[in-house]
Amino acid sequence: MPKVGRPVEADGVSSGPWWRGAVIYQIYPRSFVDSNGDGIGDLPGISAHLDYLVDLGVDALWLSPFYRSPMADFGYDVSDYTDVDPIFGTLEDFDRLVESAHARGLRVIVDWVPNHTSEHHAWFVNSRSSRISAQRNWYIWRDPAPDGGPPNNWQSQFPRVGSGWSFDEPTGQWYLHSYLPAQPDLNWDNPAVVEAMSDVLRFWLRRGVDGFRVDVPQRLGKDRAFRDNPGLANEPLAGFVGRRYDEDQPATHEHLRGIRRVVDEFGDRLIVGEVYILDQRRMTTYVNPGDELHLAHNFTFLRLDWDASAFRRTLIELEQSLDPAAWPAWCLGNHDHSRIASRFGADGRGQERARLIGLLLLTLRGTPFIYYGDELGLPDSAVPPDLALDIHDRDRARGPIPWLPTSRVGLGAGFSRVVPWLPVASNAEILNVDAQAADPTSTLSMYRAILRLRRSSTALNAGPVEYLDGAREMLAYRRRSDFESWLIAFNFAVEPRLLEGVQGDVSDNDVAFTTIPDRPRLRMYRRRIMLEPLEGIVLRQHQGGGA
Ligand code: NOJ
Ligand code: CA
């Protein structure tokens, strides 16, 4: 394998595993590129567009599930962990993708869904066939409660599903499913399950993957006494505060240590977990010990409102909760959440906010994850009710990438030569890749520029962060290394605001980056400068400049 990644120890601030200095790009394979004209994205389509990711300047891609699946939860219901679903291609297509990515210096991370399989997985087919089947104990089966109902009050994470238990008529018992009834939970207390799922990891590690995104790791450990959850709090996808015997139990950590040992057999690989726990002090217990996950996605951050002080509080709390030896990971969106340009766009200024927050994502201390299409400032797709597919209303965040203007190539927007499985994001005419690549003021050009700056800066890659006290609706921090110092600031307000704390005199030459391409000239007022409405800015500070 050619050497991939890039060194981050340029000025001696830090050296460490590759993923600390990396920017990781999430691809939802159904929606990146359709190579064979069935309206659904596939692996050969991704392979053919890797240069787009190289030009963007990311270091790794994470592929959401492409395994054999009945697609009840669009691939998060796996019926064969060691094969590619024919919709996406073949194992050979996967191998070619890894090879082409590595040849370009891009690493490849794949999704691993350990908490549940599809009901059509051979393990579950065997398990449900009889109470004495060889794999009965691979899943979580319980007798009915005395009233004949489900064994306890645990709920599916999808409110439309209701109870987390389904009754299996032929064998007279209930099985647990934290998501759809078509996604039975595996029994991680059974060593045979641990072994089989470890072999799944080894299968992909041997094929050359650089790591895994672990689906809902906090679910792997359940209360062994199956106690009722206090209350029935069951908010839409993850209002996890204040419950629970059905997740985040001590057993979870035991299982993760075992998983880490398997991954470590292969050297410098990454496991990043979707630890969907909206309490940063608990979430960080998955990375602080150092022998569980390397990184955990932070959903407290992802779910913040447009409020600079809430961002500041959350960022500081994270830094205080995280062990000094651990490392943050940041994401602003994924396939389960409305896109940032829409989430913050109710007043029509979603594009400006998406740029501001994109700069924040890429300049925080930690490993950023970009959700495909956010580099274009894509809003959600408009999905009319008769085209809706997902049980949990997440279709809108999963629209295909518009590569070309629809006026030129039709509704497929260069994603597909036919009508795509979901409508492309609205505004494809303006926001498509082709148009944005040609426009130096576009969101895509902004992402490319900031990733270039990041790549050349040890302070941004690896330096510490210092949050400044800010005026209302302002967020500001410093990133430093031995040789450079940046002041990075964000005006969350829709009016101009003064930024305090600028060191020394700064001029237009010190603006390394701004999200407002045609901003007026910089003006200093006694160590303060005026930021434009919704501006994010990176200022070069001269070392030793007096405060
Ligand atoms: C989290 C995934 O991101 C989501 O898409 C899925 O529905 C659940 N886990 C269940 O696998
Ligand atoms: Ca296809």
pLDDT at residue 539 tops 70: yes
What percent of the chain lies above the pLDDT cut of 70?
Answer: 94
pLDDT at residue 297 tops 60: yes
What's the pLDDT band for 544 if we cut at 50, 70, 90? low
Nearest CA to ligand 1 atom 5: 336
Per-residue model confidence (pLDDT) at position 525: 84
- The DSSP secondary-structure symbol of 188 reads T
Longest dimension (CA), the chain: 79
Residue 481 has φ and ψ, to the nearest 5°, of -140, -170
Start-end of CATH 3.90.400.10 domains in the chain: 116-185
Is the Cβ–Cβ distance between 353 and 534 less than 8 Å?
Answer: yes
Q: Is 215 in the pocket of ligand 1 (CB under 6 A)?
A: yes
Per-residue model confidence (pLDDT) at position 239: 46
pLDDT at residue 185 tops 70: yes
Is the Cβ–Cβ distance between 212 and 201 less than 8 Å?
Answer: yes
Q: What is the average pLDDT value for the chain, to the nearest integer? A: 93
Is the Cβ–Cβ distance between 485 and 459 less than 8 Å?
Answer: yes
pLDDT at residue 237 tops 70: no
Q: Is 34 in the pocket of ligand 1 (CB under 6 A)?
A: no
User: What's the mean pLDDT in 195-213?
Assistant: 98
Per-residue model confidence (pLDDT) at position 473: 96
- The DSSP secondary-structure symbol of 521 reads P
317 contact partners, CB below 8 Å, separation of at least 6: 280, 281
* DSSP SS3 for 195: helix
Per-residue model confidence (pLDDT) at position 470: 75
pLDDT tens-digit series, residues 320-360: 999 999 999 999 999 999 999 999 999 999 999 999 999 99
pLDDT tens-digit series, residues 223-233: 999 999 986 54
Q: Which atom of ligand 1 is nearest to the CA of 179?
A: 10
pLDDT at residue 479 tops 50: yes
* DSSP SS3 for 270: strand
491 contact partners, CB below 8 Å, separation of at least 6: 356, 473, 474, 497, 499, 531, 532, 533, 534, 535, 536
Q: Which of 30, 180, 216 to mutate to test the pocket of ligand 1 (most atoms within 8 A of CB)?
A: 216
Nearest CA to ligand 1 atom 11: 76
Sequential DSSP letters for 5-25: S----TTSS----GGGG--EE
Output the CA 441–ligand 1 centroid distance in Å: 35
Per-residue model confidence (pLDDT) at position 33: 98
Is the Cβ–Cβ distance between 415 and 403 less than 8 Å?
Answer: yes
Per-residue model confidence (pLDDT) at position 230: 82
What's the pLDDT band for 240 if we cut at 50, 70, 90? very low
Q: Tokens representing 251?
A: 């057993």
Lowest mean pLDDT among 79-83, 272-276, 361-365, 502-506: 502-506
Start-end of CATH 2.60.40.1180 domains in the chain: 468-540
Q: Which of 214, 215, 393 to mutate to test the pocket of ligand 1 (most atoms within 8 A of CB)?
A: 215
Output the CA 35–ligand 2 centroid distance in Å: 5
Sequential DSSP letters for 50-85: HHHHHHHT-SEEEEPP-EE---TTTTSS-SEEEEE-
Per-residue model confidence (pLDDT) at position 3: 40
Per-residue model confidence (pLDDT) at position 126: 98
Residues 290-319 as b/e (b if ≥16 CB within 10 A, e otherwise) read eebbbbbbbbbbbebebebeebbebbebbb
Residues 7-42 as b/e (b if ≥16 CB within 10 A, e otherwise) read ebebeebbeeebbbbbbbbbbbbbbbbbbeeebbbb
User: What's the mean pLDDT in 195-217?
Assistant: 98
pLDDT at residue 234 tops 90: no
User: What's the mean pLDDT in 489-508?
Assistant: 94
Q: Which atom of ligand 1 is nearest to the CA of 73?
A: 7
What's the pLDDT band for 542 if we cut at 50, 70, 90? confident
pLDDT tens-digit series, residues 49-86: 999 999 999 999 999 999 999 999 999 999 999 999 99
Per-residue model confidence (pLDDT) at position 244: 85
Q: Tokens representing 477?
A: 């921090």
User: What's the mean pLDDT in 153-177?
Assistant: 96
* DSSP SS3 for 306: coil
Is the Cβ–Cβ distance between 1 and 208 less than 8 Å?
Answer: yes
User: What's the mean pLDDT in 237-253?
Assistant: 74
Q: Which atom of ligand 1 is nearest to the CA of 113?
A: 11
Q: Which ligand lies nearest to the CA atom of residue 299 in the structure? A: 1
Q: Is 158 in the pocket of ligand 1 (CB under 6 A)?
A: no
pLDDT tens-digit series, residues 366-377: 999 999 999 999
495 is catalytic: no
User: What's the mean pLDDT in 160-164?
Assistant: 95
Q: Is 336 in the pocket of ligand 1 (CB under 6 A)?
A: yes
Per-residue model confidence (pLDDT) at position 16: 86
pLDDT tens-digit series, residues 14-57: 568 999 999 999 999 999 999 999 999 999 999 999 999 999 99
Q: Which atom of ligand 1 is nearest to the CA of 334?
A: 3
Output the CA 76–ligand 1 centroid distance in Å: 6
> Which CATH number among 3.40.50.10710, 2.60.40.10, 2.60.40.1180, 3.30.1490.20 corresponds to the domain 468-540?
2.60.40.1180
Task: For residue 394, give the nearest of 473, 338, 350 by alpha carbon.
Answer: 338
What's the pLDDT band for 243 if we cut at 50, 70, 90? low
Task: For residue 255, give the nearest of 183, 197, 325 by alpha carbon.
Answer: 197
Taking the C-alpha atoms of residue 321 and residue 282, their distance in angstroms, rounded to an integer, is 9
Q: Which ligand lies nearest to the CA atom of residue 30 in the structure? A: 2
Write down the catalytic residue from 265, 323, 439, 466. Answer: 265
Per-residue model confidence (pLDDT) at position 15: 67
Sign of the torsion angle spanned by Cα atoms 491, 495, 500, 504:
positive
What percent of the chain lies above the pLDDT cut of 90?
Answer: 90
- Tell me the helix, strand and coil percentages in the chain, rounded to 5: 30, 15, 55
Q: Which atom of ligand 1 is nearest to the CA of 394?
A: 5
Output the CA 394–ligand 2 centroid distance in Å: 21
pLDDT at residue 12 tops 60: no
CATH topology of domain 116-185: Oligo-1,6-glucosidase; domain 2 (3.90.400)
CATH topology of domain 3-115+191-454: TIM Barrel (3.20.20)
Cα–Cα separations (whole angstroms), residue 309 to 316, 469, 471, 493: 11, 10, 9, 12
Q: Is 182 in the pocket of ligand 1 (CB under 6 A)?
A: no
**What is the CA angle 169-170-173, rounded to 5?**
60
**Where would I find the beta strands (DSSP E) of 96-209?**
107-112, 141-142, 165-168, 173-176
Q: Tokens representing 197?
A: 């799922």
Q: Which of 76, 113, 213, 246 to mutate to test the pocket of ligand 1 (most atoms within 8 A of CB)?
A: 76
265 is catalytic: yes
pLDDT at residue 494 tops 90: yes
